[in-house]
Amino acid sequence: MPEGHTVHRVANLFTELFAGHTLHAWSPQGRFSEGAKQVSESRLVSATATGKQLFLAFDNDLSIRVHLGIYGAWDVHTLAGVSARAGSPRDASLGAPRRRLGEHESETDPDEPFPPEPRGQVRLRLETPDTVADLRGPTACEVLTPQEVDAVRSRLGPDPLVDRGRLGEEEFIARLTSTRRAVGLVLMDQSVVSGIGNVYRAEILFRHQLDPYLPSSSLDSDTARALWKDWKKLLREGVKTGVMMTRTDLTPAMKTKALRSSAHRYFVYGRAGQACRVCGTAISMDLMATRKLYYCPRCQLS
DNA sequence: TCACAATGAACAA
DNA sequence: TGTTCCTTGTGAC
């Protein structure tokens, strides 16, 4: 499931698998039949991500915007023998005919006929003769004109992998520190910075020993700059490995091991009541704007 | 079989 | 602040 790293991975994989190809698009579930028809049999020009938004641009000038929301997912199946890679060692070693993008990438029955029957509620299927991508459970899946794509993009805060230079960094600092809302809320605000979700929010705050309830405007620019750089680093790593790994207290060997199980990847996320990995205090969990906020009351509260 | 949670966000009031 | 939408997997009965 998706925070910004997952969507960049999807964009990278689709660029590799689909860019330059004519796609057959349809909606097995039926809820996106009209939209799919508008791009079907067109050539995919590009697949790009900004934060949690995926844009698939076609040569008829239309784009599909996909937002996975809280439980959306892509499943990619490739005919054995022509499977492309998402670029990570894990993908390469899998070499599987089927891959689920996100944390769990698993193999399936190699005897399955190709293309496989859509399973469950598939909103959109994209097909070439040797590759199939199934989209299920998105919060958004719509066809946009170039102007509409620009409008969506303009509402988004900087993404470290899109706005790589100084401008992105300065924009982030300006937006972050210009509101008195709690920093725990502001880091999740996609108009301030793109791609951070509930896991990265909690982990980044912990990594900087920050009280989630501090007014965002109280952060000095050095702290803000450090947050941006850290997010950039975590995002890069997440895109590379496909996994959100945020711990800094592990040797490389332990880290590799911890990648495999979500129980060991995080400092605080999902660990309410368990001992802080740094000070041993029980991790707290509060509801912040309907989302679960995890933090260490000793390391982070001032 | 059912309830519930999950890495999200739009919308109403 | 509360409600709604999207789908699947898990665990309790």
User: For residue A225, what is the domain's CATH number?
Assistant: 1.10.8.50
Amino acid identity of residue A272, one-letter, is A
Report cis status (omega within 30 of 0) of the bond before A89: no
Instruction: Mark whether A226 and A196 lie in a shared domain.
Output: yes
**pLDDT tens digits for A281-302?**
999 999 999 999 999 999 999 8
Longest dimension (CA), chain A: 59
Please give the pLDDT value at position A105. 43
Q: Which domain range does residue A145 map to?
A: 4-153
Say which nucleotide is closest to residue A51, CA to C1' distance.
B8
Please give the pLDDT value at position A263. 86
Task: Show which positions of strand B are touched by protein (CB under 7 A).
Answer: 6-10
List the catalytic residues of A. Answer: 2-3, 52, 291
Near-strand B residues (CB closer than 7 A): A 1-3, 6, 51-52, 67, 69-71, 102-103, 139, 188, 190, 197-199, 244, 262, 270, 290-292
Give chain A's residues under pLDDT 50: 81-100, 102-107
Say which nucleotide is closest to residue A190, CA to C1' distance.
B9
Instruction: Mark whether A274 and A175 lie in a shared domain.
Output: yes
Instruction: Mark whether A170 and A131 lie in a shared domain.
Output: no
Structurally, chain A folds into a number of domains equal to 2
Please give the pLDDT value at position A112. 76
Cα-only R_g, chain A: 20
Please give the pLDDT value at position A94. 23
- The last residue of one of the domains, among A153, A176, A198, is A153
pTM: 0.92
> Phi/psi class of residue A190: alpha, beta or left (left: φ > 0; alpha: ψ in -120 to 50)?
alpha
